[in-house]
């Protein structure tokens, strides 16, 4: 089932912080975060696994709340380059089923 | 550059026609995924192949089919095209078959316009 992302869109000034949430109606096994700039392909940011394991870019921060079936992506001290659409993709099983992506959160960072 | 290539970049065709989209994964990657991206639906997973075999299936229409060849490139075939099939189609690849743990590398996409 498709995860729900919130907010749908956010506008920040450079240097401000933002949090993007991703919620699932089923128990989560893993959450993936990608960023897509306009007209480009999605780019991998991070994977968070049930049990606490993470892999991804060091400058990206995210959390995985198993009980709430939710993940949050933290964007701190935002830069202009952070602008884009952020997608979370979830896996509800460790048996390798494909990811279901949310509809995305559009982030615009202004000078 | 992710190392994943997709051709063609743009495709314009008429309703009722059939088209083939091609994807070459990164060197060494065994899994290929196909996604459809439209404005209001985000990234919709269509199908995954791993080392030539179908691994997972999403909301892929019966008019659509895919395959992965021995050299690991993949093709997505769309037939009896409708206006609603107009979208950006992405291919992604990963080293292994378990999508829950492996990052995916996306190609630049093929923009399909059905007139």
Binning pLDDT at 50, 70 and 90, where does residue B62 land?
A: very high
**What are the angstrom distances between the C-alpha of B20 and each of B29, B81, B83, B102?**
21, 11, 16, 27
In the predicted structure, residue B65 carries a pLDDT above the cut 80: yes
Residue with tokens 């099939």: B85
pLDDT tens string A48-100: 988 888 888 767 899 999 899 999 999 999 999 999 999 999 987 765 567 88
A97/B9 Cα distance (integer angstroms): 29
Q: Could you tell me if B53 lies within 8 Å of chain A, comparing CB atoms?
A: no
Integer Cα distance of B80 and B64 in angstroms: 9
* The predicted structure's pLDDT at residue A97: 65
Q: What is the predicted pLDDT for the residue at A56?
A: 83
Q: Do A41 and B104 touch (CB under 8 A)?
A: no
Q: What is the pLDDT of residue B96?
A: 83
Cβ distance B103 to A44 less than 8 Å, yes or no, reads yes
Cβ contact (<8 Å) for A98 and B45? Answer: yes
Mutation target for A interface from B100, B101, B103: give the one with most A CBs within 10 A.
Answer: B100
Q: Does residue B75 register a pLDDT over 80?
A: yes
Q: In the structure, what pLDDT confidence band is assigned to residue A28 with cuts at 50, 70 and 90? A: confident
Q: Which of A56, A94, A101 sits opposite B45 (nearest CB)?
A: A101
CA angle B39, B41, B42 (to 5 degrees): 80
Question: Which residues of chain B make contact with A99, given a CB cutoff of 8 A?
Answer: 45, 99-100, 104
Please tell me the distance in Å from B80's CA to the nearest CA on chain A.
Answer: 26
What was the pLDDT predicted at B25?
97
- Arithmetic mean of pLDDT over chain B: 94
Model pLDDT for residues B4-57, shown as the tens digit of each residue: 999 999 999 999 999 999 999 999 999 999 999 998 778 999 999 999 999 999
DSSP state of A99: P
pLDDT, mean over chain A: 90
Count the helix, strand and coil residues of chain B and give each as a percent rounded to the nearest 5.
5, 50, 45
Chains A & B: contacts with CB separation below 8 Å: 70
With a cut of 90, say whether residue A19 has pLDDT above it.
yes
Question: What is the band of B93 on the pLDDT scale with cuts at 50, 70, 90?
Answer: very high
Q: How far is B68 from chain A (nearest CA, A)?
A: 17
């Amino acid at each position: 089932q498709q995860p729900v992302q919130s907010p749908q869109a956010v506008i920040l000034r450079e240097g401000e912080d933002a949090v993007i949430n991703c919620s699932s109606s089923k128990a989560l096994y893993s959450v993936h975060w990608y960023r897509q700039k306009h007209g480009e392909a999605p780019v991998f940011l991070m994977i968070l696994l049930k049990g606490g394991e993470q892999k991804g870019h060091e400058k990206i921060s995210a959390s995985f709340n198993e009980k709430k079936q939710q993940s949050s992506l933290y964007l701190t001290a935002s830069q202009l380059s952070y602008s884009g659409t952020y997608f979370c993709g979830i896996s509800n099983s460790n048996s390798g089923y494909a990811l279901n992506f949310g509809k995305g959160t559009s982030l615009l960072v202004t000078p | 550059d992710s190392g994943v290539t997709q051709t063609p970049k743009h495709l314009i065709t008429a309703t009722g026609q059939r088209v083939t989209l091609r994807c070459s994964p990164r060197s060494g990657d065994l899994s290929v995924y196909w996604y459809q991206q439209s404005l209001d639906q985000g990234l919709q997973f269509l199908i995954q192949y791993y080392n030539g075999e179908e691994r997972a299936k999403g909301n892929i229409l019966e008019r659509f089919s895919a395959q992965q060849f021995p050299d690991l490139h993949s093709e997505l075939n769309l037939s009896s095209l409708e206006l609603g099939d107009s979208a950006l189609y992405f291919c992604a690849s990963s080293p292994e078959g378990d999508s829950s743990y492996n990052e995916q590398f996306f190609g630049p996409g093929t923009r399909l316009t059905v007139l």
